[in-house]
Chain A
Amino acid sequence: MIGFGLIKGMRVTMRNFLRSPVTEQYPDRRVSPIEAAKMAGLNPVAFAIRKPAEAFKAATGMTSVPVKVKQTPRFRGNEFAWYEERCTGCASCAKYCPLGIIKIVTHPGGIDVQEGESYAIDVFDIDIGRCMFCGLCVEACPYDALHMGSQFERSSYVRADLVITVDQLKANMKRPSSWFRPQFEGMKYSPFEDKAMPEHKDAGRHEKPLPGQLTEKWVKER
């Protein structure tokens, strides 16, 4: 019957109209007057009387608060977490990057807290302007020194700003993503909760053996 399909279609539309919205508000979310009153620590009536300007603003939908986007722990963001103590300057990461955008310059003779003898790093540039966040560098790192980051708000007006230098890597907050790092998943660590960030000791799949253990392994076993 002609016209019946239209009614059916409208039914689908109505069903969807009644569903709760799925839109993620980002970077800000509007605040209702009641919520605004709660945030000000007052009950709504007192809020309207004591702070009429703010109450009016909230009622017209002009008050907003910043929100965080929900991400999963494995999310590969555009910032890297790098533990100086773990890195030996082996440059495996630079070699395995499909685009060749990691530049490492070292000089011999560094002593590394975690891994023992290593090269000292002079330059460690990651040009994230060309990075595709595939994570192969992280997969290649044998000492778990490099991790994908979890943040994604690193846009800039100048391309030169998109190069992460070694100083930035050292200064960055260490919020490694658990991509290719099963130890973080075991720890139930999530980069999006404001818990204590993992130290270099927690970041690896192995710990530096004590001298005694090394003797055990290399001397006594022979």
Chain B
Amino acid sequence: MTLQTEPISINFGPQHPSTHGVFRMRVTFDGELIVDVEPVFGYLHRGSEKLAEERTYTQVVTLTDRMDYVASMTNNQAYILSVEKLAGIVPEPRGVWLRMIAAELQRIASHLVATGFLIQDLGALGTPLMYAMREREKILDLFEMMCGARITNSYLRPGGVFADAPDYFWQALRQFMDDIPGQVDEMEELLGSSEIILQRTKSVAVLKPGDMVNAGITGPMLRAGGVDWDLRHRNSYDYYDRVQFDRPLHHASDNFARYWVRIQEMRESIKIVEQCIKAIEPGPVRPKSVPFLVRPPKGDSYVGIECPKGELGFYLVSDGGVSPYRCHVRAPSLMNLTLLKEMLVGTYMADMFVSFGSTDINMGEVDR
């Protein structure tokens, strides 16, 4: 006798501990198999783009901190680069090197969080996540020395950064740089050698590279599918053309590949920071000629940068006033969610949040 069954819909979120923020998914299960996914977002919408129209160009920096709050330095960087292009500001070299150091440290921090939460989503509650958080904490301490805040930095200004890093920052950075490669190795050992993790993540939630390109997915997710697309290399904003780094690629495009790429990228970021420390020279950190109220000429600008999650771009339109006429953010987190259904349908319930977490989205940025 066969049992009569029917699919059942379950609602995950918005207040669910494993949705990485206020995200809601209506998932239809057939037994344990996912047959349909309907994402619902907008719970964290704060209207940042509209608020930007009311604020001066310098004040908007504080809004960008709060978009992707796991990687605020890179958010600052994307916005500032767009303002600089719009207003034709030439930044000071020391300011640029400093913000590259900050951005790469932020990339390490963001990837550490992503990796830590993979292990957490797989069911190892707490301890391995704390290994990642402990290292991230050191980076946040470095940010506190630089700019006085840990998460909402507001460190960058049009033309560079607001102040030079103090002496004790360089000592602490040196110590951190000596320490972190070992910690990344340890993380990789934990992640890449455990059969449980390998069996649970390999060949799960596979995406086709062609689909990802069509859907506009960028960042480590795309590189895990073997597509060599890194804006640091393609566009080489700031001084990325003066540093050498590799672009780690994986071809499996499954959950494991996404995390493997992130671990390798941490190593590349460490390399970049080392080169920045070597290249940085004393000097002013922002041009004296840039006023507090930046007044760009009429026009528009778009600059996309490689943030830890993918291509983060700010599109600014100026009508010649002190605040942007229109501001639009191309948020990588939102774009990376577009293939969520394709990714999840056909996988099992237990893998759902692992796959979801492997996109490394941040709800502050999805909803803005």
Q: Which of A2, A140, A177, A185 contacts B195 (CB 8 A)?
A: A2
Please judge, given known A-B contacts A22-B134, A98-B62, A182-B163, whether A8 and B194 are in contact too, CB under 8 Å: yes
What CA separation (Å) do A179 and B189 show in the bound complex? Answer: 40
Instruction: Check: B154 CB closer than 8 A to any chain A CB.
Output: yes
A16 and B56 alpha carbons, distance in the complex (Å)? 48
The answer to whether B189 and A8 touch across the interface, beta carbons within 8 angstroms, is yes
Nearest-neighbour CB distance to chain A for B134, whole angstroms, equals 5
Q: How far is the CA of A33 from the CA of B145 in the complex (A)?
A: 35
The interface residues of chain B lying within 8 Å CB-to-CB of A8 are 189, 193-194
Q: Which residues of the other chain, A, contact B137 by a CB distance below 8 angstroms?
A: 22
| Interface residue from B131, B141, B193 paired with A4 (Cβ < 8 Å) | B193
Is the CB of A71 closer than 8 A to any CB of chain B? yes
The reply to whether A74 and B194 contact each other, CB–CB distance below 8 Å, is no
B282 within 8 Å of A by Cβ? no
Neighbouring A residues of B134 by C-beta, 8 Å:
22
Q: Are A72 and B62 in contact (CB under 8 A)?
A: no
* Chain B residues positioned under 8 Å from A4 (CB to CB): 193
A197 within 8 A of B: no
Interface residue? A133 (CB, 8 A): yes
Known: A9-B190, A12-B190. A180 touches B292 (CB 8 A): no
Asked if A5 meets B144 with Cβ closer than 8 Å, knowing A15-B186, A132-B62, A133-B149, the reply is: no
**Separation of A11 and B63 alpha carbons in the complex (Å):** 43
**Which residues from A are CB-within-8-Å of B144?**
71-72, 74-75
1/0 per position for B190-226, CB-CB distance to A under 8 A?
1001111010000000000000000000000000000
Interface string of B290-321 (1 = CB under 8 A from A): 00100000000000000000000000000000
Other-chain residue from B154, B166, B292 in contact with A185 (beta carbon distance below 8 A) = B166
Min distance, Cβ A122 to any Cβ of chain B, angstroms: 26
Q: How far is the CA of A71 from the CA of B145 in the complex (A)?
A: 9
Question: Does B145 contact A74, Cβ atoms closer than 8 Å?
Answer: yes
B148 and A75 contact, CB distance less than 8 A: yes
Q: Which of B159-174 contact A (CB under 8 A)?
A: 162-163, 166, 168
Residues of A within 8 A of B149 (CB): 75-76, 133
Complex contact B189–A76 (CB within 8 A):
no
Q: Once the chains are docked, how many angstroms separate the CA of A75 from the CA of B151?
A: 12
Which chain A residues numbered 169 to 190 have a C-beta less than 8 Å away from chain B?
A: 177, 179-180, 182, 185
Q: Closest CB of chain B to A153's CB: distance in Å?
A: 17
Contact A136 B148, CB 8 Å, known A22-B137, A182-B163: no
Bound-state Cα–Cα, A177 to B127, Å:
35
A49-74 residues at the B interface, CB under 8 angstroms: 71-74
B55 & A98 in contact (Cβ 8 Å cutoff): yes
Given contacts A2-B195, A72-B144, A180-B163, contact A136 B59 (CB under 8 A): yes
- B131: chain A residues at CB < 8 Å are 16
